[in-house]
Structure formats: structure tokens, C-alpha cells
Amino acid sequence: MSDDLLEILCCPETKVPVEMLAADRVEKLNRQIAAGKVTAVGGETVQKPVQEALITTDGKTIYRIDDNIPVMLVDQGVATRQLEDW
């Protein structure tokens, strides 16, 4: 993802800026997705593993990136408070 795009993106609900989610955190998230333990803000269980993701700078919400396109939809965000050992 380009730095220029990353610089202007923010959480659509809180307007908190976002940054790339570190690779080790992506792996940790995917393990919990595979275990069926991750629910999107909209209430649906997340089933598809994440290749890349953005996280708000306050560390509260994760937004997936699909095919290099950030999915900045509130209902599809993942609240980190539900994640074990985050």
C-alpha cells in the first residue's frame, strides 16, 4: 500500500489514523480466525484469513486489506478487545 494512501486513511467511525498491522500480528489474528474466535463489528464471524491489515493507531480496530484495497467498512472491522493475548 502506498504511503500517500496510508497517510490519509482513518477509521470511518472514530477518525483515528491507521497504520499497517505487523506481520506477526497478522499471523496471530489468522490463528484466532482459524479457531473461529473472531467476530466483526457487525456481528458476523470472520472466516477468511487476512493477508494484510490496517490497525488504528490506538490499537482498537483492525481493517483487512483485500487485493491491495483497504476494506474500511465499520461493520467489517475487528475490535481487538475480543482477541486473546493481543
Domain boundaries, the chain: 3-81
Burial of 63 (0-12, 13-18, 19+ CB in 10 A): buried
Looking at residue 6, its pLDDT comes to 92
For the chain, 86 residues long, give each residue's pLDDT as a single digit of tens. Answer: 888 999 999 999 999 999 999 999 999 999 999 999 999 999 999 999 999 999 999 999 999 999 999 999 999 999 999 999 99
Q: pTM to 2 decimals?
A: 0.95
Q: Is residue 30 within 8 Å of 50, Cβ to Cβ?
A: yes
Q: What's the pLDDT at 73?
A: 98
